[in-house]
Structure formats: C-alpha cells, structure tokens
Amino acid sequence: MSSQDKSEVPEEHLPEVHASAHVPAEGDPFADPGLPAHEPRVTDIDEKAAKRAERQVAFLFVISMLSTIGFIWAYVGIDKRRIIDIFFFGKIGAQNLALGGFLGLALFCIGAGAIHWARTLMTDEEIVQERHEFTSDPETREYAIREFTQGAADSVIGRRPLIRRTMIGAMALVPLSGVVLLRDLGPLPGTKLRHTDWKPGVELINEATGLPIKPDDIVKGSLTMVLPDGLVEKYGPAGQKEELSHGWLEKAGMSAVLVVRLEPEDIKSKKELAWGYEGIVAYSKICTHVGCPIGLYEQQTHHLLCPCHQSTFDLADDGKVVFGPAARSLPQLKIHVNEAGNLAATQDFTEPVGASFWERG
Ligand code: FES
C-alpha cells in the first residue's frame, strides 16, 4: 500500500503494532515476537470493493441454488437408461453425469462462496487467546482434599477393613463379566476352517446332474463344478435333516471344486500332474483373495479368472497367481479313479481353502 493510499485510510484501519511485541519478559532470553501488524484489506477501506465482493459471494450462492434445482430436474427429467458418448470418457449414463455434475457444482459454489466471504468481508483481526493454567487454584485443591478426607472419615472405611477389602475385591472382579461375555463372539473356529468334506475315497459329484463323474465326462475346455458325495443329502436345501440345512452354504462354499481337463504335456508341475488323473485336475472354486467363487476359464491359456477383483490363476502351473491381488495359489484336490471308474478324492485339501486371511491368524 502506498503512502498516498495510507493517507486515505480511516484511522481505525491503520496498521497497529501489538503491545505484546515489545514487552519481553524480564530475564526471558526468547522474547515473545508478538503478532505482525494488522494490514487492512482493500475491502476494509474501499466500500466499492466490499460491495463487489458481496455480489461475488452472492453470485456463487445463487449458482449453487440453480445447481440444486438442476439436480432435481436431472433426477426427474432425464431417462436413467439414456447413454451419451463423451470424448475421452466414452459412454456414460446421462442421468448419473448430470446428477454428479449439478451436485458437485452446488457444493463447490457453497464452499467457494464461504471462503470468498471469509477472506474478503469477515473480520480478519488476529486474536490472541491466552492459555489458562490447567491446575486449580490452591484454595480449590485444598477444599477438594478436605472434602475427600471428610468423606472417607464419614464412610468409616479406615476403621472397617473387612468392608474395604471386599469392596476392592468386588470392584476388581466386576470387569471380568465383560471379559466373559467376549466368549459369545465364538465359538472359536479351531481347525474347522482347515478341513472340508473331502475325505479319502469321497466321489466327485457333478453339481448340475447330481451324479458321479467318470474321466470321459470331462471334456477339454469345459469347466465342471463338483461337490463331495453326500454333501447335498446331508446339508442341502432339500436335505432330510432340516436343522442342518442352514449350514449348506458354508459347507458348499468350503468344498466347491472345479474340474478341468488339460493336455498332460501342458502341465508344468510334476506335483500337479501326479495329483490329477491323465490331465484331469481339480482345484478349489473359492478365490484365495477374499473368497469369491471363481467361474471364468480361458482354455487357451489355462487361466482361471476371479470376477471379483480379477485375480488370475494358472491351472497348468499349480494354480499359481499370475495376476491380481490374491496372495497364494488355488489349493488343488488330489484325485484318482476308484474301482467303479468314478473320480474320487484321494485326501482332503492339504491347505486352507478360501481367503488368505485365515492363514494370517
Ligand atoms: S475375491 Fe477373487 S480376486 Fe478378490
């Protein structure tokens, strides 16, 4: 601000020097620098500028109001199935675009108006608020101690050690009730999550037909979902034991397996080859990321894709993760052909199925 300008500034808007800036405490090597001198803004000294700022703030608020009306119009007036093609962004739902745009503009204008208002018109004087002592004054402390001592004397707790000790015991034990209630968060899973209904000799049952599977039923390129024999009868929705049917999803989720046929020479891992039957291999259907059911198989690459977060597993290489957030391979189920010529499990899975979360415990 020039000296010419300063001569036109009203007295009350001239910069003032805070007294605290010049009063260093005696013996204090670090003098309080105080606050910088207050500089008036152009809107403090020029009524025209203040009016202009007022109109700008009001303009932003009016834009916000119109945007809100636009939002309501977009909600009722734009067909939600209408798609528009926007350069760079591609195809977008017109209603969603309008709703987001209007709401964003309405909120932005309220924020921008409030900031502009605060920076141009609200008082901007620096204010000092002195911190108070946190401790009470000596009289108050003395009073509290006196009251406490008097209360203790009135309760005769000093002369009644039996009451004192039992009361301390009661107060120490009462939080245990809350600890015991934590048990209701259980029962603890124990090793339940490490085992499925696959056991040695349990046949693979086609989930679609409900029948056992023979090796010739598995054709190259197809994906067959199977469950352990007996699972549907025991836990299925149409199971005879009604009280058990609520465990169906949990059981089916744990034990669901996908069976595919690969060319034996395409299988890179000896262990995978040995755990299958002439190129037929069985893997858990449950993604090791967070447990979605997997169902997309790419025959050429032997990749299995989880639709939830795109984890991709290589079925020709021990079910290893080749892409995505999953942290470990899909567990393989060891299978063989039994005397009846049906595919059957040789053993349970040797590692937990489903989300890797369980392994971190
Ligand atoms: S659950 Fe499969 S990738 Fe996330």
Which pLDDT does position 287 carry in this prediction?
Answer: 93
Whole-model pTM: value is 0.51
pLDDT at residue number 357: 64
Q: What CA–CA distance (Å, rounded) separates 277 from 206?
A: 17
Nearest to 236, CA basis, from 214, 222, 251, 223: 251
pLDDT of 101-157, one tens digit each? 999 999 999 999 999 999 999 988 887 787 777 888 899 999 999 999 999 888 888
Q: Could you say which residues of the chain have pLDDT below 70?
A: 1-28, 236-247, 357-361
Residue-level pLDDT at 160: 87
DSSP one-letter code for 261: E
The candidate with the shortest Cα–Cα distance to 73, out of 59, 94, 87, is 94
Cα 29 to averaged position of ligand 1 atoms, centre (Å): 63
**pLDDT value of position 261:** 93
94 lines ligand 1 (CB under 6 A): no
What is the enclosing helix (H) or strand (E) of 50? helix 47-77
Interval 267-276: pLDDT, tens: 999 999 999 9
Strand stretches in the chain, DSSP E: 83-86, 90-93, 204-206, 224-228, 257-261, 280-284, 296-298, 303-305, 312-314, 320-323, 332-333, 335-337, 343-345
Distance CA 175, CA 340 (A): 61
Q: What is the pLDDT of residue 192?
A: 76
Q: What is the pLDDT of residue 113?
A: 96
Q: Tell me the backbone φ, ψ of residue 33, rounded to 5 degrees.
A: -70, -15
Give pLDDT, residue 81.
81
| Helix H or strand E segment including 316 | none
300 Cα–ligand 1 center, Å:
22
**Cα 305 to ligand 1 centroid, rounded to whole Å:** 9
Q: What pLDDT, on a 0 to 100 scale, did the predictor assign at position 245?
A: 56
Q: Is the CB of 325 under 6 A from ligand 1?
A: yes
**Using a 6 Å cutoff on CB, does residue 327 contact ligand 1?**
no
